[in-house]
Amino acid sequence: MKKSIIRGTGKFVPPHVVTNDDLTAIMDTSDEWIRQRTGIQQRHWITEEEPCGASDLGTNAAKMALEAAGWTPDDIDFIIFATLSPDIMFPGGGCLLARNLGLKSTPALDIRQQCTGFLYGFATADAYIKAGLAEKVLLVGAEVHSSGLDMSTRGRDVTVIFGDGAAAVCIEADDTEDNVGLVASALHADGHYADSLKTELPASNLFRRMPEDISLDDPRYFPVMDGPTIFKKAVRMLPQVTMEVLKKAEMEITDIDLVVPHQANKRINQAYGQFLKLPEDKIYHNIQKYGNTTAASIPLALHEAMEEGRVGKPGDVVLFVGLGAGLTWGASIYKFP
């Protein structure tokens, strides 16, 4: 049976670092508040001098993943691109990324599942592989949040948490009876909470999607979030979906070598660990360096966890888990061959 195996990973973040103290110069916030409430110390943002889109960051990450896998762009037979911050309204970033890689006919699919983009993307790649529709899939998560954030105190609850960045994985079909690769995944969505985290404009559900009579300062142009509601949902749903995916994989939590969670808030991931009685070293954190990079967050954490030797040896089992706008949430279990 065909299994979906990760052959290479890559990451790219824009070089410009924005510390918590830097943010205090533009809004009423503090290093202490941000560290205590989120665990974030800094994030990377693009600069006015070097503007670029999510697909550009994604292209750099993809090149690193391709090199690690020993693939050339021509080897890719399917691209999945996950982002909530597409370069332009349309066409999708997957097409732009394929163009950047010099590809002229490789199929490209965009996924708009925010913080769970990697989980949805990996499950989609696996389905394509199992159906025999693809052998070598490039999955990229990339975000440029900074160009769309409210830089006034009004937006401080959201703005301080988001960072720009990208990460990519090369996923290949392998015909083996071993229980390796993507062992199981569980995905969910509940649109009843769509208003808990959203950016409203431009909106095709308005007669004029860019209304003439509103100011560019209109909050609907910026992401708004009911943070406490999402926090409470996350600490409930993340353990729940973890138990669901463990059951699907016929595994126990003790079979997991490392949990690589979405990096939305360190406190959320610590509460998750306490609920599941996980030793602290079984959960990977890099939110302190990057903030929440949304679709890039899980593959960026995976890349660094592998780089640090925390996971990646044959037989190692990693559990990915995340919740974000939609609401969408999910988990998956991957076993290294």
Active site residues: 115, 262, 292
Cβ–Cβ < 8 Å for 301, 260: yes
Binding residue for ligand ACO (CB under 6 A) from 20, 242, 265, 332? 265
Identify the DSSP state of 226: -
Least distance to ligand ACO from the beta carbon of 203, Å? 18
148 binds ligand ACO (CB under 6 A): no
Closer residue to ligand ACO, CB minimum distance, 29 or 106 = 29
40 binds ligand ACO (CB under 6 A): no
199 binds ligand ACO (CB under 6 A): no
Burial class of residue 12 in the structure, from the number of CB atoms within 10 Å of its CB (0-12 exposed, 13-18 middle, 19+ buried): buried
Closer residue to ligand ACO, CB minimum distance, 87 or 157 = 157
CA–CA distance, 59 with 78 (Å, rounded to integer): 15
How far, rounded to the nearest angstrom, does the alpha carbon of residue 291 sit from its chain's CA centroid?
Answer: 11
Residue 154: both structure tokens together: 């009004």
Binding letters toward ligand ACO, positions 63-102, x by CB under 6 A: ---------------------x------------------
Least distance to ligand ACO from the beta carbon of 264, Å? 3
In 3D space, the residue among 89, 22, 19 whose CA is nearest the CA of residue 54 turns out to be 89
115 binds ligand ACO (CB under 6 A): yes
Cβ–Cβ < 8 Å for 178, 337: yes
Q: What angle do CA 28, 16, 30 make, to 5 degrees?
A: 20
Q: DSSP alpha helices (H): ranges in the chain? A: 20-24, 31-38, 54-69, 93-100, 117-130, 156-159, 227-249, 266-275, 287-290, 297-307
Closer residue to ligand ACO, CB minimum distance, 106 or 265 = 265
Tell me how many residues contact ligand ACO (CB under 6 A).
Answer: 24
106 binds ligand ACO (CB under 6 A): no
20 binds ligand ACO (CB under 6 A): no
Cβ–Cβ < 8 Å for 30, 20: yes
Which residue in this structure is represented by tokens 């110390």? 41
Binding residue for ligand ACO (CB under 6 A) from 73, 107, 148, 227? 227
324 binds ligand ACO (CB under 6 A): yes
In 3D space, the residue among 298, 313, 291 whose CA is nearest the CA of residue 283 turns out to be 298
Binding residue for ligand ACO (CB under 6 A) from 60, 83, 100, 294? 294
Binding residue for ligand ACO (CB under 6 A) from 91, 202, 228, 315? 228
Closer residue to ligand ACO, CB minimum distance, 115 or 186 = 115
- Interacting residues toward ligand ACO by CB under 6 A: 29, 33-34, 37-38, 84, 114-115, 156-157, 160, 197, 227-228, 230-231, 234, 264-265, 268, 292, 294, 324-325
